[in-house]
Amino acid sequence: MLITVASAMVCAGATIALIRGELPTAYAELAAGVALLAFGATVYGLLRTVLVLVESAGERRRVAREVSERRKVDRADDPPAPPP
């Protein structure tokens, strides 16, 4: 997550520097390359974050399902009460 935030800041900074148009041509090309790489890293980090959230939600559902199945089995195994 830290890399995603840092990449987003680098991308924004490089983009702002390019929009101002005060850089010489060589530095503008370098800033464009840096902005492109930082944007790619930002998108990659955001996708990884979304996938981690989806995976953790699936894991929570799986654990909850296992617990509820165990409870059903435990209730089914209880012997019937003896007649009075």
What DSSP string runs through 22-74?
-S-HHHHHHHHHHHHHHHHHHHHHHHHHHHHHHHHHHHHHHHHHHHHHHHHHH
Cα dihedral sign, 66-68-72-74: positive
| pLDDT number for residue 42 | 94
Q: Which helix (H) or strand (E) holds 3?
A: helix 2-20
Tell me: the pLDDT tens digits for 21-53? Answer: 888 999 999 999 999 999 999 999 999 999 999
Domain ranges of the chain: 2-75
The pLDDT confidence band at residue 73, using thresholds 50, 70 and 90, is low
pTM of model > 0.75:
no
Rounded-to-integer distance, Cα 21 and Cα 40, Å: 23
